Amino acid sequence: MMADNSNKSESKKIDELKKFQVDYQDQVMTTNQGLKVNDTNNSLKSGERGSTLLEDFLLREKISHFDHERIPERIVHARGSGAHGYFELYDSIEEYSKAGIFTDTKRKTPVFVRFSTVAGSKGSPDLARDVRGFAVKFYTEEGTWDLVGNNMPIFFIQDAMKFPDLIHSVKPEPNNEIPQAASAHDTFYDFVSRTTETLHNHIWAMSDRAIPRSLRMMEGFGIHTFRLINKEGKSHFVKFHWKPTLGVHSVTWEEAVKINGADADFHRRDLWEAIDAGHFPEWELGLQIIPEEDEHKYDFDLLDPTKLIPEEMVPVKIVGKMTLNRNPDNFFAETEQVAFLPGHIVPGIDFTNDPLLQGRLFSYRDTQLSRLGSTNFHQIPINKPIVPVHNYQRDGHMQMDIPKGRGAYFPNSLMGSCPHLAKMAEGGFTHYEERIDAKKIRGRSKSFSDHFSQPALFYRSLSDWEKEHVIGAYSFELGKCTQKYIIERMLFMISQIDEDLAQKVSDNLGIDVPSSVGKPLNQAIGADDTGDKHQPEAKKNYLEQDPNLSQSNTKFDSIATRQIAILVANGFDMDSFKKMKDALEDKDAMVKLIAPTGGTVTCSEGMDHEVDAAISTTESVLFDAIYIPGGEKSIATLKEEGKYIKFINETFKHCKAIAVDGEGEALLDGSFVADYKKDAAVHINDTPSKFIDSIAKHRNWERRSITSKVPV
């Protein structure tokens, strides 16, 4: 007899297959020209063992299409995952913007979101220490709006002119193409240590923000300061934030390394399976709105993309929610071919003079022309707006529309100048009228020269366990560099952020922090070898801490979609198992049975339960907590397999919750946990609710003082 739950996923798959067969049962295979095909297994030959004939147009079409299946991958953000969904507005903000998406609460705006890593290739693993892309395409009734951002609120550089240098430095080194999807090497730190504007985004990358637990558990940011324009034409500056309803959570670096080996598709699989199971990821959209008259109110420049606006200074106003509820039907057609352009905006939203944003307005379109091969990439279904498109643009590679009429120019009389220009009353886009009176120069405002204050604010705002992870990250990354002078220069830069941080990294590396590195510190933004032009300003302290910068202040009220490993063998106690399983699933956790072998496992009541993974095929780092039900026979079997002890030790070492019932306690006796049964997140014959509370806290970081002793 099978337990009810074991049939659910299989039944769903069977139903989907039946529906697919019904919908497509009448389809006959054809060529791309619609010619029906009766054999696509054999090429046309001169006899059964003869040569293949040139006239085999079926073979040529099939092979030619295969030869051209791959398009150039994105130079950055190549490794991506996507999903469909919708956005709903809570309350109108028409006092700030005339955009329909911000004024019409009755709308349900379709979206497509692509998450990505930055530095690695398409084949790189998900858990690289890296910035994550967070790009949202809104299919609005006024046209497409692309909010193209990251999971960190700032960027490495201030001017788009430096973007090729940044990416060239972090990519695999050109002489040996090593390392892949990693910043721990000489060229990157040579660049960072000589380009001090990078230090703010860099310390974020050294924090846990760079290794999220899930794409569903990370924030998103528009990075740049944009404008909101209301119907009266008044402008406000705005920063865009995405706040995940599940909170912001990460894995440790040690877990990330092991996850990459155990499941290189960990984030991609997690997103897909959550949506497939009906656990739809959600983010609330928040805005930091600043009156234009307050542009110069702060100790930092609003147009500097390496600076954030602390939420302690300007609170985030939550205005709506985005829900992702559908996986792509085809990865290539949707996730790979989707084209995001920061230049895609709608009336009510406009740009600022942020020099990085200004460069992106060119770069992103240029990139898509190279990748997708045609100016007509907007006609690909995933990129097609939901509103009609009418203009005089014609022809080009892969033209899929069939424009009618004689006039391909404007104005014209042959077609009555149709389509005509939109008036403002019809929703026509007009740029914000900003006064410009300046000399044409290559330069940068002195207000962009504070490079140490915000990295210092970020580090001061972190909890002790987060600081330990930052210290570990710097130590690991710099430890991979081979040139001592680069390490020393980087240690000096870190000391300008926080002396204690630099000293602890220095102690780990066995290299002293230098007292100086000579002048100029920052040669990358215009200084030469003899001058002090554009040197970084001295560090300021305009805010002691911002609690919003620490993940210790995120949401800890849900275990929805958390992966719980239940360690079982034949004879496990059904009563305790069912009680715990029901309680976990009632809170939308994902329960997985880990047994000595695959197939099924039998409980104490003689029922068979489908095994989710054999112990030999999985690792503890793929789960958020473990539970061990009682059952004398089951525990006796588990004791014979050493990997179960490793599983328990690793879970304990990574500060996760552990629960056992009945005879399950005996399995702990062979583990490191035996001496720490009074740990707050180790539950022995405890109530499910207390175990659930420990999982919701993500980790018991108080345990970290002893975890270095745990053998794994």
- Concatenated DSSP letters of 359-388: HHHHHHHHHHHHHHSSGGGGGSGGG--SS-
pLDDT at 704 over 60: yes
- Mean pLDDT along residues 247-254: 97
**pLDDT tens profile 647-699:** 999 999 999 999 999 999 999 998 999 989 999 999 999 999 999 999 999 99
pLDDT at 114 over 70: yes
Which range, of 92-106, 527-541, 583-597, averages the lowest pLDDT? 527-541
* Res. 501 pLDDT band, cuts 50 70 90: very high
> 316 or 522: whose pLDDT is higher?
316
Give 556-707's CATH code, choosing from 3.40.50.880, 3.30.465.10, 3.40.50.450, 3.40.50.1000. Answer: 3.40.50.880
pLDDT at 638 over 70: yes
Please tell me the predicted confidence (pLDDT) of residue 523.
54
Give dist(CA 559, CA 693) in Å, integer: 8
CATH level 3 topology of 80-183+210-383? Catalase HpII,  Chain A, domain 1 (2.40.180)
Higher local confidence (pLDDT), 521 or 310: 310
Consecutive H or E run containing 594: strand 590-595
pLDDT at 29: 75
pLDDT at 1: 42
| Residue for token pair 């583990």 | 671
Please state, in angstroms and as integers, the Cα–Cα distance from residue 276 to each residue in 125, 191, 587, following that order.
22, 42, 17
User: At 553, is the pLDDT very low, low, confident or very high (cuts 50, 70, 90)?
Assistant: very high
Q: Which pLDDT tens digit goes with each residue over 529-538?
A: 434 556 789 8
Confidence of residue 17 (pLDDT cuts 50, 70, 90): low
Which of 532, 566, 462, 575 is CA-nearest to residue 203? 462
77 is annotated as an active-site residue = yes
Q: What pLDDT does 57 receive? A: 82
Query: Can you name the CATH fold of 454-552?
Result: Hemocyanin, N-terminal domain (1.20.1370)
Does residue 553 carry a catalytic annotation? no
- Fold matches, 80-183+210-383 and 454-552: no
How many other C-beta atoms can be found within 10 angstroms of the C-beta atom of residue 447? 16
Q: How far is CA 104 from CA 19, 88, 92, 420, 426, in A?
A: 36, 9, 6, 27, 17
Percent of the chain with pLDDT strictly greater than 70: 95
Cβ neighbours of residue 142 closer than 8 Å, sequence gap 6 or more? 99, 100, 101, 346, 347, 387, 427
* pLDDT band, very low/low/confident/very high, at 47 (cuts 50, 70, 90): confident
The tens digit of pLDDT for each residue in 365-374 reads 888 888 998 8
Does 20 score more than 80 pLDDT? no
Q: Which pair of tokens denotes residue 122?
A: 């398409």
Mean pLDDT of the chain: 91
Q: What is the pLDDT of residue 404?
A: 83
- How many whole angstroms separate alpha carbon 685 and alpha carbon 364? 57
CA 311, chain centre distance (Å): 22
- Average pLDDT for 32-41: 80
Kindly tell me if the per-residue pLDDT of 6 is higher than 60: no
Lowest-confidence pick of 328-337, 362-371, 485-494: 362-371
Between 29 and 549, the more confident residue is 549
Angle at which helices 453-461 and 484-497 cross, to 10°: 70
Distance CA 294, CA 299 (A): 12
Predicted local confidence at residue 526, as pLDDT:
40
pLDDT tens, position by position, 380-394: 999 999 998 888 788
How many Cα atoms within 13 Å fall on the side-chain side of residue 452?
A: 18
% of the chain exceeding 90 in pLDDT: 74
In the chain, what are the domain boundaries?
Answer: 80-183+210-383, 454-552, 556-707
Q: In what order do the strands lie in the sheet with 625-628?
A: 613-614, 590-595, 563-567, 625-628, 657-660, 682-684
pLDDT at 205 over 70: yes
Nearest to 105 by CA among 113, 94, 116: 94
Catalytic residue among 77, 344, 469, 683: 77
Lowest mean pLDDT among 44-53, 106-115, 296-305, 594-603: 44-53
92 touches 104 (CB < 8 A): yes
pLDDT tens digits, 403-439: 888 877 788 787 777 777 777 677 888 888 888 787 7
- The 8-class DSSP code of residue 566 comes to E
d(CA 52, CA 268): 42
Find the mean pLDDT for residues 472-479.
98
Question: For tokens 């009176």, what's the residue?
Answer: 437
- Helix/strand/coil (H/E/C) assignment for every residue in 8-41: HHHHHHHHHHHHHHHHHCCCCCECCCCCECCCCC
In sequence order, the 6+-apart residues with CB closer than 8 A to the CB of 315 are 288
pLDDT for residue 21: 65
pTM: 0.92
pLDDT exceeds 70 at position 3: no
pLDDT at 524 over 50: no
**Tokens standing for 320?**
């709506």
In the set 84, 150, 230, 260, the catalytic residue is 150
- pLDDT of 8 reads 63
pLDDT in tens, 561-570: 999 999 999 9
